[in-house]
Chains A and B, each alone.
Chain A
Amino acid sequence: GQNIDQPTEMTATEGAIVQINCTYQTSGFNGLFWYQQHAGEAPTFLSYNVLDGLEEKGRFSSFLSRSKGYSYLLLKELQMKDSASYLCAAMDSNYQLIWGAGTKLIIKP
């Protein structure tokens, strides 16, 4: 079956660094996406990885290891506005997204 696993909740301190992990099992693989979702709002796109390695985009970076079925999202210099849920999604062989339940990130001052 197809499955995405990510932690339910994480807590971090303002100004610190946090890494949110995601493991996936899909029928075929066409890329790994990260979305951010603030409470009561729609998901918004953060990053896409299809090749192994690290993609950096400002304070946010995303890493992919296809052989391990593993990705992480790295958030640096945390700000209070980064408090949100972070959704991991893998694209399967039919180009459909399989979504994780999301990781709720709580930032403390």
Chain B
Amino acid sequence: NAGVTQTPKFRVLKTGQSMTLLCAQDMNHEYMYWYRQDPGMGLRLIHYSVGEGTTAKGEVPDGYNVSRLKKQNFLLGLESAAPSQTSVYFCASEARREGNEQFFGPGTRLTVL
């Protein structure tokens, strides 16, 4: 039982390059989330999904796209990376019942030069 995994763990991009971050969970959770974490700020929700084939915008969706083609996978794409997207990205999943916790992946550290 691996829980939530993320690939890659680290990445350096040049401005304008694109990349995809992969999140996978083996807990059969319906809900999945992508957050970014920046120094001095709380986790900010980028996009989320309430089930296979559905996605929705969070607090800071601009510059990102997502897809949830399979229940266990949630992909985050950066089409044209900008230095402002330098951050640590966390994926999380949740079974969505009262009081249920979100389980986080180990994070991806992204630097955009």
Question: A residues engaging B (CB < 8 A)?
Answer: 4, 8, 31, 33, 41-45, 48, 50, 87, 89, 95-102
Contacts and interface: CB of A to CB of B under 8 A. Distances in A.
Interface of B: 40-45, 48, 58, 90, 96, 98-99, 101-107
Contact of A42 (B44, B98, B106): B106
**Interface on chain B toward A: helix, strand, loop, or mixed SS?**
loop
A87 B101 contact: no
B7 to A, nearest CB: 14
B42 A87 contact: yes
Given A31-B99, A43-B90, A100 B42 contact: yes
A45 B104 CA distance: 9
A41 B104 CA distance: 10
Contacts of B58: 96
A38 to B, nearest CB: 12
B99 A101 contact: no
B107 A99 contact: no
B94 to A, nearest CB: 9
